[in-house]
Amino acid sequence: MKKQIAFDCALVTEYMMQHELEQMAPKVRQAHDMLSAGTGPGGKHTGWIRWPEVYNRAEYARIKRTGETIRNRAEAFIVIGIGGSYLGARAAIEMLCPAFYNQWSRACRKAPEVYFAGHQMSASYTANLLRLIEEKEVYINVISKSGTTLEPALAFRLFRELLEKRYGKEGARKRIIVTTDNTHSPLKKIAEREGYETFGIPDNIGGRYAVLTSVGLLPMAVAGIDVDTVLAGAADAVRLCGTPDVDGNPAYRYAALRRLFYDKGKTIELLASYEPGLRYVAEWWKQLFGESEGKDGKGIFPASLHFSTDFHSMGQYVQEGRRDLFMTTLWVEALREQITVPQMADDTDGLGYLSGVSLHEMNRKACEGAMLAHTQGGVPNLRIIVPEATPYYFGQLVYFFEKACGISGYLFGVNPFDQPGVEAYKRNMFRLLGKPKTM
């Protein structure tokens, strides 16, 4: 039987009495009932809850076929999107593909180089990316549920122009894939007019909860990630995170503890990881919880740290700064690669006592030492243990966080499926850019 993601809260007993958690149980049960029945705020956007079990099989087969075609033909694959339209796919690729993925030979990768655009408006970044792919066979996937978000819309215009100049209209048509709203998106209208292959984003699933739809699965498939196993892990997580009780459901226990910490003045959560490949898992997590909880003057501020690197920059603050923090460590138990410290005749560096010890084991001791030190310093520590960095556990981890986030939003009394504050900057930006009011 496969191991499951584990949630460890053993170090928070001095911050949390058992009766406090027990008193949260009825509120968690109420949140569970609203989420499951779709009767809470934003309930029409809870299609992700059963998605790993009820996903569209016909479209999924097309995702796999298209992914294989691009994987075999493209030298560079450009994912154009922002926020939930790209963070999940990037998290998967960074976590599951080897470090320096794009620098490996095509023979080792067995897939194209993967790059991202449309997640900012930097002229230098975009110009350098366009220059980088000048001599490469290029396919692009533009992802936008609304089809009107400025950053990916601009990038799509630039890359579409590049493909049409290089391959002509017909050649570009074969190399552009659109992922968008099934009915209302302007991007959908462009795709229909131009004849681009199109994948739909379900109406009842918002962008930041859409990793396990075509939004994330097509880029994963292009990169050679086993998407069958991703969905299998997520489907198992539906069952793992399906019970309504705090004790038996790790996602609900995590959500309940976060809310209790918040009530005790711990308003900032630091997601810490010890593997560089988890950096974009943390970026996706920040958007998931930040956009879902941060409204109505409420919410925990999500931030991330990457250890042991950040021990040497932020470690001091965590240990002795303001005590409004708590930390959740994302720990991968077993790694595919192992490196041990070599034995050397000359021990001038004083590291002879570490000869034969693996770097991963040293990372483990650093993690355990930091969790103890931070807890003793007034920063409660939680830990999420991922057995391995594999597609199965990526799918499980995504669903764990999504379920915890939905429950947490309801515990805060907000709608975890809208983002009204995001529109404020857009209105000002478009006004300053002189956008006609009729558009």
Q: What are phi and psi of 256, to 5 degrees?
A: -65, -40
Edge-to-edge strands, sheet with 301-306: 6-8, 381-388, 325-334, 268-273, 301-306
- The catalytically annotated residue of 275, 291, 293, 402 is 291
Residue 170 bears catalytic tag: no
Question: And the tokens for 322?
Answer: 């303001």
Beta-carbon neighbour count of residue 343 at 10 Å?
10
* 423 classed as catalytic: no
The single residue of 189, 264, 426, 435 carrying the catalytic annotation is: 426
Nearest CA to 59 out of 192, 197, 260 is that of 197
Q: Which residues are catalytic, by number? A: 291, 426
